[in-house]
A and B are shown apart, each in its own frame.
Chain A
Amino acid sequence: MSMLAWKNLFHDRVRLAVTLVGIVFSLVLIVVQFGLFLGFLDTSSNIVAYSGADLWTAAPGIPHVNGGTPLNESLRWKALQVPGVRKVTKFALTFVNWKLPAGSTESVQIAGYELGSGMGGPWNVVRGTESDLAAEDSVFIDELYAAKLGIRALGDSAEVTGRRARVSGFTHGIRSFTTAPYIFTSFKNAQNYARLAEDQTVYFLIRLDPGVNPEVVRSQLRQRLLNADIYTNEEMRRKTMFYWVFQTGAGVTTLMGAILSLIVGAVVVAQTIYSATIDHIREFGTLKAMGAANWVIYQVILLQAAISAVMGYSVAIVVGEFVSHSSQTGNAPINLPPWMAAATFCLALTMCMGASVLSIRKATQIDPAMVFRG
């Protein structure tokens, strides 16, 4: 019956085009919305995901990693005394104003880390080396934000809280979920830019000895560091991600967009497949009169739906890849990993075949005696 399914589908090219437009539109919207959502998940907590730390020490009750408040440096020595703790480094993450050469200001987040610690530093560095950050006024920015920050080339300068910030390196693809890009620098520079006292930091990043149980160490740290919260890296990542993606509503909005797109697509496909079934109702009646079992009818309708899904998906995924690729140079990337492409295919099939349920019901209720009516 695949012959009948194929031929019926292509016999009415206008209807096929309408069906495909509906499928492509729906799938592209789903890919964009969900891809944005995946991008949000990445950018909302990348600073934690790439920190290299096992545990974070923070002031009590912070809502997310971008909302830290100062801690006293003395906590570091207490933390170092806990068995299983290999290294404790200072990390400052705070919002400051970046004054462009032209005079306007942009909000940025200074990320200051201890050089050589292997924790808290930038990743995807494409220009400059870590040793370049040792200079008093040296910072790394991401290429994506260079224009926004008024930087045209390596060596250009700006002003942060009255101090010079000289760009000595670039990263690629380090986005910030907020509109304030990350500016990496040494911890000492960060203290100056953020106007932190000499004995203050915002976080301690802790690396544990290999094979040590993080929960055991955390429990001991909690007993010693009474005025601080201790998070695993994963906890901090999730806490931050949950806040930005869900509590702000950004993620929910994109997910709702994806769900609505799915509904729209299903409705369009259901309507076109249903009207096609009505148009072909006499043929289905003839098939039944000839002795075709109901499953033969299902096969024809489901095959038509599946063929439509495959054709629509083929176009949609090309468009989606193009959109995803184009978005990588922007602030809001639309991610389209292979698993999502595969999941979208399954979704397309499910949407189209699910949308044909009404048609199947209609077709199986046909009275084959109708073929005798002229």
Chain B
Amino acid sequence: MIQVRNLEKRYGTGSTVVHALRGVDLDVFPGEILMLMGPSGSGKTTLLSMLGCILQASSGSINIDGREIAGLPESRLPALRLSHFGFIFQGFNLFPALSARENVEIGLRLKGIGAGKARRQATDLLDRVGLGDKLDKIPADLSGGQKQRVAIARALAGDPPIILADEPTAALDSHSGTAVMEILASLARKKDRTVVIVTHDNRVLHYADRTVHIADGLIVDHTSQEQAA
């Protein structure tokens, strides 16, 4: 479970200070798919970055499974990210020189998994996202949807309990976007993973258990799937 209380993020000081987040309170429950929506500059990605221990809070609290992370020193955050989170980025952020399998392997090798085992697990993950026949292709030889599926496999490598996805369908056509969301939702639910997705894409809303709307650094609305129905 993720608990956020009165979270603030400020850039700059004095008269030029910018409030990216202004006192956000949010609970993210285990196994739920939560979508963060809002206009550009509303603070969605900032919130996602802070949940993922990539950005540090100016003030407030972030508690993950009973552990307070908001005040942790920078040096301890990489280990936390490695053990708790898998990331999916809008621009895929695959390593262009590595094959699809190697891109997934690298996530496993970072977690200390040996080369042989990492290779087997990477093959299995890519099979699960429907890329069993693209193991040795480099990103340049893959379509946008295929790249994002490699990114999903990489994010799932090592079984992190929380997946954070920043606009995973933004760079994809509707067919590919739907396919990616199907895979992400299915794999998340299978292992009861928590998934937080930042998105503008209304087409994918129905995959969410809950939707949170952010504007000007504040949560303005919560909508659960039942309420939406």
Using a CB–CB cutoff of 8 Å, the interface residues on chain A facing chain B are 1, 3-4, 7-8, 10-11, 282-283, 285-293, 296, 368-369, 371-372, 374
Q: Report the Cα distance A7→B93, complex, angstroms.
A: 16
B8 at interface, CB cutoff 8 A: no
Tell me if B102 and A3 are in contact (CB < 8 A).
yes
Tell me the chain B residues, 136-167 only, with Cβ under 8 Å from chain A.
166-167
Shortest A43–chain B CB gap in Å is: 50
Nearest chain A CB to B79's CB is how many angstroms away? 7
**Across the two chains, which residue of chain B brings its CB closest to A370?**
B54
> Is B58 among interface residues, defined by CB-CB distance under 8 A?
no
> Which of these, A8, A11, A291, A368, contacts B80 with CB under 8 Å?
A291
Q: Distance (Å) between the CB of A125 and the closest chain B CB?
A: 61
The answer, yes or no, to whether B63 is at the interface (CB within 8 Å) is no
Cβ contact within 8 Å between B81 and A371: no
- With a CB–CB cut-off of 8 A, which chain B residues contact A372? 45, 48-49, 54, 89-90, 166
Pairwise interchain contact A3-B106, C-beta atoms closer than 8 A: yes
Residues from chain A with a CB closer than 8 A to the CB of B91 are: 371, 374
Which of A3, A4, A371, A372 counts the most chain B CB atoms within 10 A? A372
Contact partners of B90 in chain A: CB under 8 A: 372, 374
Taking the complex as formed, is B78 at the interface, i.e. its CB lies under 8 A from any CB of chain A?
A: yes
Measured CB to CB, the closest approach of chain A to B182, in angstroms, equals 23
Question: Whole-angstrom distance from the CB of A201 to the nearest CB of chain B?
Answer: 74
Instruction: Please give, as numbers and ranges, the residues of chain B lying within 8 Å of A7 by CB-CB distance.
Output: 95, 97-98, 102
Contact between chains at B107 and A290 (CB < 8 Å):
yes
Cβ proximity bits B18-42 to A, threshold 8 Å, 1 near / 0 not = 0000000000000000000000000
Flag if B89 contacts A371 (CB, 8 Å): yes
Contact, CB under 8 Å: B95 / A286:
yes
Check A1 against B107 for contact (C-beta < 8 Å): no
Distance in angstroms between the alpha carbons of A100 and B91 in the assembled complex: 81
Q: Could you give, for residues 29-72 of chain B, a 1 whenever the CB lies within 8 Å of some chain A CB and a 0 otherwise? A: 00000000000000001001100101100000000000000000
In the docked arrangement, what's the CA distance between A282 and B52, Å? Answer: 18
Residue of B nearest to A291 (CB): B82
Q: Measured between alpha carbons, how far is A288 from B93 in the docked complex, in Å?
A: 12
Contacts of B55 in A (CB 8 A): 369
A368 and B54 contacting across the interface, CB-CB below 8 Å: yes
Contact A283 B54 (CB under 8 A): no
Least CB distance from A262 to B in Å reads 30
- In the complex formed, the residue of B with least CB distance to A9 is B97
Nearest CB of B to A16, in Å: 11
B: contact size bracket: 20 to 34
Extra inter-chain contacts (13) besides given A4-B95, A283-B93, A289-B81, CB under 8 Å: A3-B98, A3-B109, A7-B98, A285-B93, A286-B93, A288-B78, A290-B81, A290-B107, A296-B110, A371-B87, A371-B89, A371-B91, A372-B90
CB pair A289–B95 under 8 Å, yes or no, is no
Instruction: Encode B93-113 as 1/0 by CB contact (under 8 A) with A.
Output: 101111000100111011000
22 A-B residue pairings within 8 Å (CB atoms): A3-B102, A7-B95, A7-B97, A7-B98, A11-B96, A282-B93, A283-B93, A286-B89, A287-B106, A289-B52, A289-B87, A289-B89, A290-B82, A291-B81, A291-B110, A292-B78, A372-B48, A372-B49, A372-B54, A372-B89, A372-B166, A374-B90
Rounded to whole Å, the gap between the CB of B40 and the closest CB of chain A is: 11
Min C-beta distance of A278 to chain B, whole Å: 15
Determine the chain A residues whose CB is within 8 A of the CB of B98 once the complex forms.
3-4, 7
- Report whether B83 and A291 are in contact in the complex, using a CB–CB cutoff of 8 Å: yes
Q: Are A4 and B106 in contact (CB under 8 A)?
A: yes
Please tell me which one of the listed residues B54, B96, B105, B106 contacts residue A289 in the complex, with CB atoms under 8 A apart: B54
Residues of B within 8 A of A4 (CB): 95, 97-98, 106
CB distance from A53 to the nearest CB of B (A): 64
Q: Closest CB-CB distance, A10 to chain B, in whole Å?
A: 8
Closest to B80 in A: A291
Question: How far apart sit A290 and B85, CA to CA, in the bound complex (Å)?
Answer: 8
A7, A288, A291, A293: most-surrounded residue (chain B CB, <10 A): A291
Determine the chain B residues whose CB is within 8 A of the CB of A371 once the complex forms.
87, 89, 91, 93
Min Cβ gap A20→B in Å is: 17
B213 to chain A, nearest CB (A): 19
Given contacts A3-B98, A8-B97, A374-B91, contact A291 B106 (CB under 8 A): no
Q: Give min CB distance, A308 to chain B, whole Å.
A: 15
Q: Which residue of B lies closest to A5 (CB)?
A: B97
Closest to A285 in B: B93
Quote the shortest CB–CB distance from B207 to chain A (angstroms). 21
Q: Are A290 and B97 in contact (CB under 8 A)?
A: no
Question: Which chain B residues lie closer than 8 Å to A11 at the CB level?
Answer: 96-97
- In the complex, the chain B residue whose C-beta lies closest to that of A286 is B93
A296 → B minimal CB distance (Å): 7
Distance A286 CA – B170 CA, assembled complex (angstroms): 18
Across-interface contacts of A291 in B (CB, < 8 A) = 78-83, 85, 110
Bound-state Cα–Cα, A3 to B102, Å: 8
Query: Could you tell me the distance in whole angstroms from the C-beta of A290 to the nearest C-beta in chain B?
Result: 6
- Chain B residues lying within 8 Å of A3, measured Cβ to Cβ, are 98, 102, 105-106, 109
CB nearest neighbor in B for A279: B96
Distance A90 CA – B89 CA, assembled complex (angstroms): 88
